[in-house]
Structure 1
C-alpha cells in the first residue's frame, strides 16, 4: 500500500506474477508520466532491476514482478519486519555501489524526463521556502524549528553538487536476496537534488561503521561524499515532518493533515 497508488498482485494464465498500481488520485498521473520516462533512462544504467511498465494507462500501471523480497515490510498491526539486518555490511556495500551508479546518471538527461532539477545554490532556499510554507499552516515545535534553522545556516553541512536521486531509497523500496539488492521500486520522488537524500535512511538506521562501508563503496564507484555528510543526513531525516506537511497540503486529506500536525508539533511528556 502506498500514498499515491493502491498496489495489488496478479498472476497471468501462463503463471507470470505481475504488480498492479492503481492511482489513488488524478494528480498522481502527471508524476507517473515522468516516472515512466525516468525508469526508461535508468534501467540500462543500473546493475539492479527497476519496474518495466508494460501497461500504462490512466487507470492502471502494471509490470512483471521484480526479483527478491522487500528489505523491510509492515505487519498488519503496524509493526516493522526487517528482512535485512540493520547492521548488514553486505546490504550497505550493495547500496553504496547502487547509489554510485545512480548518482552518475547524466543530470541533463534526467532533466529531459521531467523530474525536478535543483542546482546546489537552490537547495537551502527551497528547504527554507518549504519550512515557511508548512509553518503558515501548521504549528511547529520550537525545538524542531530551531534545529532545522541551524541546519540551513551551517554552510559546512551542505553539498556543492547535485545528482539524480531516487528520493526514498530505503529497505522497503529495495528488493533483496541474501542481503544483496536485486531491484528498486517506487521512483515517484526521483529528482536531481542533494545526494544525501538517498543516504539519509541508512545513515540514521545503521551503525556508523556500517554506514562507512556504504560510503567506501559509494566513493570507489565515483560518488562524492563530503566530510560532514553523516551529520547532514541526520538533520535531513529530522526534517521529514516538513515533507509530510507539504504532502498533506497537496492532497488536502484530513487524515494526512492530522498525522503531519502530530509529527510537526509532537506532545511533550509531562
Structure 2
C-alpha cells in the first residue's frame, strides 16, 4: 500500500537528524515512488522519496550514486543548473531506503509559453547540450544502462514489433515508422549521457533560465534525440531553431545531421510506448488515450506517407 504523507514525514526526520517537520503534503511524480514534500519550522521544503517496488529501489540506489557525481560537475560549473543533493536516508522495513533532499528551486517549465530568441528556449538548448557533453563514464560507473547506436535502433525495432502486435496502431503509421527505422543513415549517432525522462515537472525554471533538473533515475548512455524529442514535439514551431542553435553551439564535435529528424520520430514512437504501457498494465484509459493520439498523428501525417 502507498505510504501516507505522515509516514514519509516520519522517514524524513529519521533520515536527516534535526529536521523539524511542521507540515507535509503528497507530491505526484512519475515512477514507482511514494513522494512527499515536508516543510520545516524555518520554511525550508524537503522532498522525501521511498520506492514502492524492488525495481524502483534498485533504480533509486543508482540514481543516488549518479547524483553525487553530478553535484561535482555542478560545483565545477560544468552543469549550469542544480540537481538534487541527498541529505540523508532511512532504511525501509521491507528493504531499500527512502532518501531526502532539499526541494529544488524554480517552477515547472511551461513549454507552450516559450518564445524564439536568446531567452529560455536557447537556455533549454544549452542545458541539454551540457548534459550530453558529460563523460559517459559518469553513467556507466553507476551501473546504469549504456547502448551503442546499433543496439538502440534494435530496441526501437523491438518496440515497434510489439506495438504492431497489439493491432491498435494505424497501418500507415507503422509503414512510416518501419521505413524510418530501416534508414540506417538516420541512426548514425554518437551515444551520449542522456537524462532519459525529461518532462516539465523535472525541468525547473526561474525567469529565462533553467535553474534545476530533477528525476535522474532513467539516465543512461543512449541517443541524444531522447532528450530533445519531448521538447521539439511540444515547443512552438518558431522556437525550435533557437533551441537547436544554442544546443549545437554548446556541443563539441557534434556530427549528427539527422538529429532533429530522429528526435521528431522518437517523439512519435513515444505514443507507441504509451500504448504498450497501457496494454501491459491493463489500463483501458491509457490504451484509449494512446489510440486517440495515434489516430490524430496518423491523420496529420497521412499525406506524407507513401502509398
Q: Identify the residue that residue 128 of structure 1 maps to in structure 2.
A: 157
Give the one of 286, 297, 304 matched to 1:259.
286
**1:191-202 mapped onto 2 (5 Å cutoff):** 191-202=220-231
Q: Identify the residue that residue 154 of structure 1 maps to in structure 2.
A: 183
- Does residue 18 of structure 1 match 2:51? no
- Does residue 28 of structure 1 match 2:66? no
Runs ≥4 in structure 1, deviation > 6 angstroms?
none
Q: Identify the residue that residue 39 of structure 1 maps to in structure 2.
A: 67
Higher relative contact order (CA 8 A, sep 6+): 1
Once the 2 structures are TM-superposed, how far is the Cα of residue 30 of structure 1 from its aligned partner? 0.9
Q: Identify the residue that residue 30 of structure 2 maps to in structure 1.
A: 3
Query: Partners of 1:229 and 1:267 in 2: how far apart?
Result: 23
- Does residue 206 of structure 1 match 2:235? yes
Q: Identify the residue that residue 79 of structure 1 maps to in structure 2.
A: none
Give me the CA root mean square deviation.
Answer: 2.6
**Count of matched residue positions in the alignment of Structure 1 and Structure 2:** 256
**1:26-175 mapped onto 2 (5 Å cutoff):** 26-45=54-73, 46-56=79-89, 57=91, 58=96, 60-72=98-110, 85-87=113-115, 89=117, 90-136=119-165, 139-175=168-204
Once the 2 structures are TM-superposed, how far is the Cα of residue 23 of structure 1 from its aligned partner? 2.5
TM-score by length of 1: 0.83
TM-score by length of 2: 0.74
| Counterparts in 2 of 1:71 and 1:88: CA distance versus 1, 3 Å | farther
Based on CA coordinates, which of the two structures has the bigger radius of gyration? 2
Which consecutive residues of structure 2, in runs of 5 or more, have no partner in the other structure?
1-27, 74-78, 297-307
Deviations 1:192-229 (Å, cap 9, x if unpaired)?
11111111122122244422222222222225263332
Q: Identify the residue that residue 182 of structure 1 maps to in structure 2.
A: 211
Once the 2 structures are TM-superposed, how far is the Cα of residue 129 of structure 1 from its aligned partner? 1.4
Query: Partners of 1:20 and 1:266 in 2: how far apart?
Result: 34
Query: Partners of 1:87 and 1:177 in 2: how far apart?
Result: 15
